[in-house]
Chains A and B, each alone.
Chain A
Amino acid sequence: MGFLSTAVGWLLGLGSSVIVMIVLIILGLVFRVGWQKAVRGGITTGVGLAGLFLVVNVIISALQPAVAEMATRFGLTKTIVDVNWADAGIAWGWPGVAGLIVSLLVVNILMVVLKMTKTLWTDVWSYWHGSALAGFVWAATGGNVFLGILAGVLYLVAGSLMSDMTAKKYQEFNDMPGIGVPCGTTVQASLFAMPVVWLLDRVPGIKDWDASPEGIKKRFGLVGEPGVLGFLLGVIIGIFAYGTTAGDLGLTKILGLGMNVAVMMMILPRMVSIIAEGIVPITMSIVQYMRERFKDREIYVAVDCAVLLGHPAVMASTIILFPLLVLLAAALPGVNMLPIASLAVVPFWAGAVVPYTKGNVIKTVIVLLLYAIPFMYFSTWMVDSQTEAYSMMGQFSEQIGQGLKLGSWDMGGDILGFFIRQIFGLFS
């Protein structure tokens, strides 16, 4: 036991980038992708993870003083720093990630064999939603890897069942026979949309109200670009925080914050993309194996929610939603995080809702304004275990010790994840 705990301690001390590199190289060799691919994939993902945390560091040092300044000036308690997809760093860097991947593969194959689900979860990248949740539970239970994996698998099993319910609709609307999309907060948006759209279709006035997606994109499209949006949000927050700071210094700080937020909005997804670039080739062989194994059955092959983004109403709704969501989060009492990085998840939600609103922009906006409210509260309420997960991975420990809190909508505010975390919280 003594040797084991020393070994585990040494491994954790290596830092998440090195751990994920080793884990992926081993997984690659187990899945027989060849050692060259395994090594390249492992190192690439390690680099992506390190890069992701670098970007988060930039944004923490820019944004934290600004939100603190707003708090002292106006008594605004919106002090949680929104890092959104940095949670992918928890997902691929927490100590149980390899156990989670293997467990889910086994559970999913069993469920398909026993005909409990039609969704064959081949999209290993999307396991990250469950794995991030697993990381939160791991942190909330004082480092219990087993409970973390259990929570993550539960979440992902629920995802397969939700995918069964939505697959046909996605297939028809996007003209993609055979797919299913089990991704976390995206597929839940579809389930949420079903009753809301049913109601909206019975309200006179709203029933036939629509806006032209092309017109919106032409006029306001610029705001939909992550860099531009980030710069704008940064400047607005900067004006509140430093607007009365004397002379040049205030302006310097405002523009600097705008640029830093723009950096985060553009670079954070690129870093996530580098992580994926390493993981995807390593998991391809297992995916191929699963597909061949079940080719005679009616199966929904899991794909990433990005395939849902094609319809023009997706981006148009997203552009309208951006300012409304920021204002809503600012106005709602008890919501302590202004969404910035989290806005990046909104197009995916829209992609999941548009099949149900038949591409109607107004209805999509209404559905998602309502859908976002629980995310705003849950991300505030659950921020401690999320922040603790970063700290336990050795990230930002110093700032966290000084009171920094890191939150997100995707996965921190996740609705299903909230309930799973409540249940597993009983074990802490």
Chain B
Amino acid sequence: MGRLIVVACGAGINTSTIAEDSIRERMAKEGFADVEVKRILMADIEGYLTRDDLVMIVSMMKIFRTFDVPVFQGMPFLIGSQDEKNVLLDKIVEAIKKV
């Protein structure tokens, strides 16, 4: 079974695209062929929470609830330096290795 990371933002148009691009590139570099990165609307998240392959949520906005899977704030993808981005990507890779 594959592993699914959802990147959620308010509109599913712009900000999540930026994060999705960075995460996908890193997953390819790590050789995680079974990891799927998918950007979604935060409003659509319910449908993904019940999926068995969901392993992580990267949120592009402040969220006011909790989830069963690890959640990362994706803001460094938008405004961080290259170093800050790499730190976040390292954390994501670590968390992915555990599942």
Q: Do B62 and A310 touch (CB < 8 A)?
A: yes
Q: Do A295 and B81 touch (CB < 8 A)?
A: yes
- The residues of A that contact B27 with a CB separation of less than 8 Å are none
Q: Give Cα A208–Cα B17 distance, bound, in whole angstroms.
A: 40
Q: Do A303 and B15 touch (CB < 8 A)?
A: yes
Q: Do A273 and B9 touch (CB < 8 A)?
A: no
Q: Do B78 and A303 touch (CB < 8 A)?
A: yes
B10 → chain A, closest Cβ, in Å? 3
Q: How many A-B residue pairs have CB under 8 A?
A: 91
Question: In chain A, residues 301-335, which have Cβ atoms closer than 8 Å to a Cβ of chain B?
Answer: 301, 303-312, 315
Which of A154-162, A187-195, A284-292 is near enough to bind chain B?
A284-292
Q: Give Cα A224–Cα B42 distance, bound, in whole angstroms.
A: 13
Q: Mark A261-284, 1 if CB is under 8 A from B, else 0.
A: 000000001001100110011001
Q: Do B43 and A291 touch (CB < 8 A)?
A: no
A35 → chain B, closest Cβ, in Å? 16
Q: Do B81 and A306 touch (CB < 8 A)?
A: no
B78 → chain A, closest Cβ, in Å? 5
Q: Do B15 and A304 touch (CB < 8 A)?
A: yes
Known contacts A176-B62, A277-B17, A284-B21: A309-B79 contact under CB 8 Å: no
Closest chain A residue to B85, Cβ basis: A288
Is residue A53 contacting chain B, with contact meaning CB distance below 8 A? no
Q: Do B18 and A307 touch (CB < 8 A)?
A: no
Is residue B11 contacting chain A, with contact meaning CB distance below 8 A? yes
Within 8 Å by CB of B14, from A125, A309, A347, A351, lies A125
Closest chain A residue to B60, Cβ basis: A307
Is residue A123 contacting chain B, with contact meaning CB distance below 8 A? yes
- The residues of A that contact B79 with a CB separation of less than 8 Å are 122, 178-179, 291, 301, 303
Is residue B13 contacting chain A, with contact meaning CB distance below 8 A? yes
Closest chain A residue to B12, Cβ basis: A273
Is residue A144 contacting chain B, with contact meaning CB distance below 8 A? no
Is residue B99 contacting chain A, with contact meaning CB distance below 8 A? no
Is residue B66 contacting chain A, with contact meaning CB distance below 8 A? no
Q: Give Cα A288–Cα B13 distance, bound, in whole angstroms.
A: 20
- The residues of B that contact A348 with a CB separation of less than 8 Å are 10-11
Q: Give Cα A3–Cα B59 distance, bound, in whole angstroms.
A: 52
B15, B60, B63, most chain A CB atoms within 10 A: B15
- The residues of A that contact B21 with a CB separation of less than 8 Å are 280-281, 284
Q: Do B10 and A280 touch (CB < 8 A)?
A: no
Q: Give Cα A323–Cα B75 distance, bound, in whole angstroms.
A: 34
Is residue A175 contacting chain B, with contact meaning CB distance below 8 A? yes
Is residue B61 contacting chain A, with contact meaning CB distance below 8 A? yes
Q: Do B11 and A306 touch (CB < 8 A)?
A: yes
Closest chain B residue to A126, Cβ basis: B14
Within 8 Å by CB of B10, from A224, A281, A284, A347, lies A347
Within 8 Å by CB of B18, from A179, A224, A280, A310, lies A280
- The residues of A that contact B43 with a CB separation of less than 8 Å are 224-225, 315
Q: Give Cα A351–Cα B43 distance, bound, in whole angstroms.
A: 14
- The residues of A that contact B61 with a CB separation of less than 8 Å are 174, 306-310
Q: Give Cα A309–Cα B15 distance, bound, in whole angstroms.
A: 12
Q: Do B64 and A269 touch (CB < 8 A)?
A: no
- The residues of B that contact A126 with a CB separation of less than 8 Å are 14
Q: Do B14 and A308 touch (CB < 8 A)?
A: no
Q: Do B78 and A269 touch (CB < 8 A)?
A: no
Closest chain B residue to A291, Cβ basis: B81
> Please, could you name 30 A-B residue pairs with CB atoms under 8 Å apart, sorted by A?
A123-B14, A123-B78, A174-B61, A176-B62, A176-B75, A179-B78, A179-B79, A224-B43, A269-B11, A269-B13, A273-B13, A276-B14, A280-B21, A284-B21, A288-B82, A291-B79, A292-B81, A292-B82, A304-B9, A304-B13, A304-B15, A306-B11, A307-B15, A307-B61, A309-B9, A310-B42, A310-B61, A310-B62, A315-B43, A348-B10
B interface list, Cβ under 8 A from A:
9-18, 21, 42-43, 60-64, 75, 78-79, 81-82
Lowest 3 A-B CB distances belong to which pairs?
A309-B10, A306-B10, A310-B61
A interface list, Cβ under 8 A from B:
122-123, 125-126, 174-176, 178-179, 224-225, 269, 272-273, 276-277, 280-281, 284, 288, 291-292, 295, 301, 303-312, 315, 347-348, 351
